[in-house]
Chain A
Amino acid sequence: MANRKNRALLEVRNLRIEFPTRRGTLVAVDGVSFDIDEGEVLGVVGESGAGKSLTGASIIGLLEPPGRISDGEIYLDGRRIDNLPYEEMRRIRGHEIGMVFQDPLTSLNPLYTVGRQLTETIQTHTDLSEQAARKRAMELLGEVGIPSPKVRIDQYPHQFSGGMRQRVVIALALCVNPRLIIADEPTTALDVSIQAQIITLLKRLCREHGAAVMLITHDMGVIAETANRVAVMYAGRLAEIGPVDEVIKRAKHPYTHGLMGSIPKVGYDAKRLVQIEGSMPRLTEIPTGCAFNPRCPKVFARCSTDRPDLISVERSEVACWLYDNMMERTGSDG
């Protein structure tokens, strides 16, 4: 208990997620470790199939079978949560961890009014009366910027536009003041102008409520303006993790480097975009050593035999043998 203060709000240690199949076990997330502090926004980026969403789902205990956590630990505020029984996890979910999904239409029940869904959630996790819960629901709707909440509370999800629906989903996630919010692609289904509104809202709410956020997205632009730190995932592993400006402006891992170069930018005239040849390996065919080695422009012998661990380089941590060598070199020089 003495060192409780020094621990991060969320600690993920060596997480490994497996899918047993008839043709053998697929490892979808392999040895992923990271922390999120209170009030911090951690962005998680990577291509489809990199394991971002699975990592998020495992933290909140919503991993769909047959997927299972086969190794590693998850701590929320120093308490281990990955092995809790269903009922206990249910209490943490919603109460301490909130979730915002990608598609606001599928995360709301089309048969119930928005108000009923909000009050139900509030009453599940607190002992407020029906009336108090309704009042709280109305406050929440106001807080997420829905005009005239008095009218809107009795409407059904289909009466809301995409952006407004996503606000309702955020209100649902905030119902009981969670300490951690997992937002899985919260803006991907929205138009740019609405995207900006939702990001601003999410940022403001986190600041006001002091909640930590795990923001899963493939949109580097959204990460750049929202996150404090970024974790880059590739084939179920962490390639690089560090402060957002460090990772974006001085990417260390060759994969991050390629990823940044492949994003078209307004005002930047390039004849061609940087292109990473090939595509991410299927889970059945992850190469030995570093998972990125067949596509890496800087590959050398060691990459295809040994798997690199995260090494501290400047302000980031990178899983790449390039930097191991560099450290040895600087070590022998000095």
Chain B
Amino acid sequence: MADAALARQDTQAAPLLQVRGLAKYFDVSPPFITRALQGGGRSILRAVDGIDFEIARGKTFSLVGESGCGKSTVARLVVGLYTPTKGQVEFDGVNIANLTSRKAMEPVRKRMQMIFQDPYASLNPRWRVVDIIAEPIRTHRLIEDNRAVLRRVGELLEQVRLSPRDGEKFPHEFSGGQRQRISIARALASNPEFLVCDEPTSALDVSVQAQILNLMKDLQRELGLTYLFISHDLAVVYHISDYVGVMYLGRLVEWAPARQLFHKPQHPYTRMLLDAIPDLEMTGRPRQAVAGEVPSPISPPSGCHFHPRCPFANERCRTETPKPIGLPMGQVACHAVEEGRMPERVRA
């Protein structure tokens, strides 16, 4: 495994995943007959509305944002569970948005895997753990000999710090944290390079979350994995990420190296999110309450989507969609930052 990690480091120059102008629209209009009778046109939900980012090999890129901002849709687009309305998803030089047939998709499929949020829903309760983990191996015909498959499953269980004997059990015999380990073992079964993790720890208790996060970091080091990590928990994101992107109503408002984003946030929405984190150190001190809520993504505000909640909004923000501008590292899409009228951030 160490050789594989080394070999992957050689090709570090080109990013493993490159996303350009990615968009996914959902048609949520009422049925045709209702529209014909009651009038009113189609309504389109722009879940993801033109985003760009890239992930270097062996790194972790996280997407954060409030519920309904499109994070999970991006995850599903990237692994090919949705076909994009527009834009490209380039995985190791291949644009998977064009791969429409199952057959064309197959060689890419086993190189990327997904870990889901709810370990109670993502494991088949009627299957033994050994069959759950062996499924990707059997589907992709990676190992033909059944005894070798079982040996490999044993290795995988050990890799996620479970015992090979646990393979004989059913999912209900495990706790939430152990189930999430089983999901990780299943994801690793096809030797993927790239894992998409959609809120892998939000259903878990903090002490169990710590075990899973530590495990994910160890596995990344051992196997040279690349992660796309989706979360709404900023502290978890700070801990695990190399790069962080902040999403708001289907758009990526800012992305930057994790440390830079947390210490020098540029976009007013990023600042707002950071101010809203409860802080263990500030016992008894009031936290900055944020005004307003996320508007409906079906009819988002004009111009910059964030302007109704933004303290720095002006006429231009209300009418013109901001274009991403480059930072020394990363990008931000904000008129106020571009025009230099953002005040220095004062930490409460």
Contacts from A to B (Cβ < 8 Å): 47-48, 161-164, 191-197, 199-200, 203, 218-222, 224-225, 244-245, 248, 258-267, 270-276, 279
Contacts and interface: CB of A to CB of B under 8 A. Distances in A.
Contacts of A218: 205-206
B327 interface: no
Interface stretch (B11-19, B104-112, B127-135, B208-216): B208-216
A221 B277 contact: yes
Interface stretch (B32-40, B95-103, B139-147, B231-239): B231-239
Given A221-B279, A225-B279, A197 B285 contact: no
A79 B325 CA distance: 65
B282 interface: yes
B261 to A, nearest CB: 10
A263 B283 contact: no
Nearest to A260: B280
B235 A266 contact: yes
Contact of A193 (B177, B239, B272, B280): B272
Residues of B in contact with A, size category = 35 or more
Contact of B280 (A191, A199, A220, A258): A220
Contact of B66 (A191, A221, A260, A266): A191
B205 A225 contact: no
A184 B201 CA distance: 21
B257 interface: no
23 contacts: A47-B207, A162-B67, A191-B66, A194-B293, A197-B290, A199-B287, A200-B289, A220-B206, A224-B282, A224-B283, A225-B284, A263-B206, A263-B235, A264-B240, A266-B238, A266-B262, A266-B274, A266-B277, A267-B263, A270-B239, A273-B213, A275-B207, A275-B211
Nearest to A201: B289
Interface of B: 66-67, 175-178, 205-211, 213-214, 217, 232-236, 238-240, 262-263, 272-274, 276-290, 293-294
B209 A262 contact: yes
A264 B213 contact: yes
Q: Pick from B205, B207, B288 the residue with the most CB of A within 10 Å.
A: B207
Nearest to A197: B289
A164 B294 CA distance: 12
A197 B272 CA distance: 12
Contacts of A267: 238, 262-263
B39 to A, nearest CB: 22
A84 to B, nearest CB: 34
B10 to A, nearest CB: 25
Contacts of B262: 266-267
A218 B177 CA distance: 16
A163 B239 CA distance: 28
B177 A163 contact: no
B210 A262 contact: yes
B232 A191 contact: yes
A193 B66 contact: yes
Contact of A244 (B235, B277, B283): B283
A274 B208 CA distance: 11
Contacts of A259: 206-207
A298 B11 CA distance: 46
A279 B175 contact: yes
Contacts of A245: 283-284
Most A CB atoms within 10 A — which of B175, B217, B236, B289?
Answer: B289
A221 B210 contact: no
A273 B238 contact: no
B67 A191 contact: yes
B161 to A, nearest CB: 10
Contacts of A203: 286
B290 A193 contact: yes
Give the residue among A48, A196, A245, A270 with the most B Cβ atoms within 10 A. Answer: A196
B173 to A, nearest CB: 11
B122 to A, nearest CB: 18
In the complex, the 10 A-B pairs of residues with the closest C-beta atoms, listed nearest first: A221-B278, A262-B210, A264-B239, A273-B210, A47-B205, A191-B66, A193-B290, A264-B235, A196-B276, A200-B289
A248 B240 CA distance: 23
Contacts of A47: 205-208
A264 B236 contact: yes
Nearest to B211: A275
Most B-side CB within 10 Å, residue of A194, A244, A248, A274: A194
